[in-house]
Each structure stands twice: as structure tokens, then as C-alpha cells.
Amino acid sequence: MHGTVELLLELGLLVGALGLLGAFAGRAGISAIPLYLIAGLAFGHGGIYEMHAITGFLDVGAEVGVVLLLFTLGLEYTPRELLGTMKTSWLGAVVDLVLNAAPGVACALILGWGPIAAVVFGGVTYVSSSGIIAKVLSDLGWLGNRETPTVLALLVAEDMIMALYLPILTTLLAGLAFTQAAWGLGIALLAVAGAFVIASRCGHLLSRFLESPNDEILLLKVMGIVLVIAGLAEQVHVSAAVGAFIVGMALSGEVSRQAEETLEPLKNLFAAIFFVNFGLETDPTALPPVLPIAIALAVVTIGTKFATGWWAAGRSGSAFTGKLRAGLVLLPRGEFSIVIAGLGVAAGLDPQLGSVAAAYVLIMAAIGPLTPRLAGPIVAKRRKKARARRLADAGAA
């Protein structure tokens, strides 16, 4: 009974605090995500007060949060739309991998962590946070923008590459035979390909099955399907987020709109838990010694990831505004980066790797939701200068 009381009190206080932080962020006109991260730091290991009773709940809640974020993002697109974009964005995916993995590889080699640690840290700096980016796109109302399919194509490509990368990485860390990694790789590829085919050919059947006379039944059906598919995706070494995204794409018509409206409050709750849990898992006392390294790495990868988004959006036909938004929205790193670093630390690599990764991801996760808001002022300033030039040219004529 005592444990239940402690759990309920901690959970109630945490959720209430997140509500106050969200209200403050709304009045200030800023994203609440950095505030959620700071709240996690304050109440995690090494913070002002460490919560113990709710850690297990928050771990599960954080996973559900990422799944729901990507599911609702998938509702905005069809498999045909996304596959069409991916066909034109494959070169962007290659550029993304080369530009953004290289700084992590170089950092690990310069610090003397060794070649396997370089493979690990390359993954940390490469992959963007689908969860944070999905939240930012929704908050800013950018889901319908011309550059957004390109951004999504890059994110899906990153998750596909993770499906190839993780079996290889675990093999390197555990010293397993190459054939074992090859099996895992083949299963992951078949699972993703099969899911896309099913979503494109049988999505109308899934929509018909989920149609319900009231929101309660729809909520239960949708949550059941999404969580089962996400779990199966993890089982075959594909991100749960990819599985949820594909389910979202498969839905169409009225049931898609109804599902989005019904799950919105649940998505917001568990998304907040995801961000605060990220901060809870970071020990703030381990961050100051490695901050210079993390800041330098953040500066470099802000440039490389921005260049990736700018170039990919431009190649897809977006103008200056679209290229700017694509470059800024891709910056945050998050859940995947921490998982990759955790695998390296658990395998006995240099313990500093975990601290640098935590500091780096925290920096990128905090600035990621803020930088896209710079797009509006930058575009307005550019237009103002253009108008001034036109007026000056007209006056000279």
C-alpha cells in the first residue's frame, strides 16, 4: 500500500508540474519541450529530488509517447505519397548519413575511444529524434507544408538505416558471428518492406475494421493495433516508431480524422512523459566536465544537419522558406542516440562516451524545438530587405 501511495503522489506531482510548465510555455510563446527536459533533470538521479516509485511507469510511458507521436504523424500521409517522396530523396538520405555520422566518428577517434566506439558515436550524432520533430511539426502547424514530406522521408530513411545499423552494432559489441547479424538484417528489411506493402494494399480494410460508433471503442481498437504493431516491429529489430508510423499511414478517410482527434489528449500526455523521462535518465553531475566537447560537437552537427535539410528540401523543389524550415526542424537528437550510447556503455566501452552523449543529446534536444521558431523572423527580415531593395531600385529608375 505504501508503494502505491508513493507512486500516485509522485505521478500526480510530476504531471501537475508539467501542466504548470506547459501553461508557462504557452503564455511565453515558447516550446514546452526544453522545460520538460529541465524538469526531468531536476527530479532524476543527481537532481534536487530523485523520484523512485514512478521510474518503471515513466519508462513504459515514454515508449508509448514516441509511438503515439509517430502514429499521429503517419495519419497525415499515405504510403504512396511517402514512397514517392523517398524515391526522390534517397540521395538526401545518403548525404544525411555521411555528413552527420562523420563528426561522431571523428570525435571518438580523436578522444582515443577506439574504432568500435567510433561506430557507436557515429550513430549518436547521425540520427535525429523522430519524437521531438513530430511534436515540433504538430505544434508549429507545419504538417501540410511542402517541405514536410521531404523531412519525413529523411526521418523514415534514418529509421530504416537504424534497422540495418543496430544488428551490425550489437554484433560488433558482442563479438558475434557475421551470419547472426546478417539474419537480423534480412528479417528487418523484409518486415519493413512487408509493412509498406500491406499498408498500401490493405489500408482500407484496416480503416473499415477500426470504424466505431463512439470514441471509446475507437480509442481501444486503435491503441491495441498500434501497440501490437509497434511491439512486433521491435521484435524484428525495427523501430517501434516506424511500425506506428506505418499504421498511421494505412488509415484513411473519416476514421483517420476521428482517430487523430480522439488520441490527441493521450498523445500530449505521453509525449510530455517521454521528454521528462529523457531528462530523468541523465545525471546532471556528470555533464559539466564534458560540456566543452558536447558543445563543440553540437555546433558542428547543427551545421551538418541544417545543410542536409536545406539541400534535400531544395532538391525537392522548396524555395528559401521551405529549405530554411527543413534545415532547422531536423536538428534535435533524442531517443535513438541515447539507446545507441547505452549499448556502447553497457558493452564496456569508455565510460566518458555515455556522459558526452548525454550532454550532447540534451543540448540538441533542448535547442531543437526552439530553432524552428527562428524561421518566421528570418523570412520576415529577408522579405523586408527585398522590399527595401525594390523600392530603392524603383526610386533610382
Report, as an integer, the average pLDDT of 140-159: 85
pLDDT at 176 over 60: no
Within a domain: 279: no
Domain boundary among 53, 71, 88: 53
Residue 287 phi, psi (nearest 5): -85, -45
Within a domain: 321: yes
pLDDT (tens digit per residue) in 336-345: 787 788 778 7
Residues 13 and 139 in one domain: no
Residues 77 and 22 in one domain: no
Per-residue model confidence (pLDDT) at position 280 = 78
Give Cα 319 to chain centroid, integer Å. Answer: 25
Residues 6 or more apart whose CB falls under 8 angstroms from that of 274 comprise 61, 62, 63, 65, 66, 69, 131, 335
In DSSP notation, 262-318 reads HHHHHHHHHHHHHHHHHHHTS-GGGSGGGHHHHHHHHHHHHHHHHHHHHHHHHHTT-
pLDDT at 135 over 50: yes
Residues 306 and 181 in one domain: yes
Residue with cell 555515455: 354
Within a domain: 315: yes
Region of 237 please: left (phi>0), alpha (psi -120 to 50) or beta: left
Domain boundary among 53, 81, 97: 53
Residues 31 and 175 in one domain: no
Residues 62 and 43 in one domain: no
Instruction: From 301, 299, 297, 321, select the one nearest 310 (Cα to Cα).
Output: 321
Residues 250 and 300 in one domain: yes
Within a domain: 396: no
Residues 1 and 90 in one domain: no
Within a domain: 211: yes
Domain that holds residue 14: 1-53
Find out whether 70 and 307 touch, Cβ atoms under 8 Å.
no
Find out whether 132 and 332 touch, Cβ atoms under 8 Å.
yes
From CA 129, how far away is CA 375, in angstroms rounded?
A: 19
pLDDT at 132 over 90: no
Query: How many distinct structural domains can be found in the chain?
Result: 2
pLDDT (tens digit per residue) in 29-44: 666 777 887 888 788 7
Within a domain: 134: yes
Rg (CA), the chain: 22
Residues 180 and 325 in one domain: yes
Residues 293 and 228 in one domain: yes
Per-residue model confidence (pLDDT) at position 339 = 73
CATH number of the domain that residue 59 is part of: 1.20.1530.20
From CA 374, how far away is CA 165, in angstroms rounded?
A: 33
% the chain with pLDDT above 90: 18
> Three cell numbers at 37?
527536459
The rounded mean pLDDT for the chain is 82
Residues 371 and 355 in one domain: yes
Residues 249 and 115 in one domain: yes
Burial of 348 (0-12, 13-18, 19+ CB in 10 A): exposed
Residues 134 and 49 in one domain: no
pLDDT at 175 over 70: no
Residue 336 phi, psi (nearest 5): -65, -40
Within a domain: 244: yes
% the chain with pLDDT above 70: 86
Residues 6 or more apart whose CB falls under 8 angstroms from that of 36 comprise 18, 21, 272, 275, 276, 279
pLDDT (tens digit per residue) in 19-29: 998 888 777 76
Within a domain: 355: yes
pLDDT at 303 over 90: yes
Domain boundary among 53, 74, 89: 53
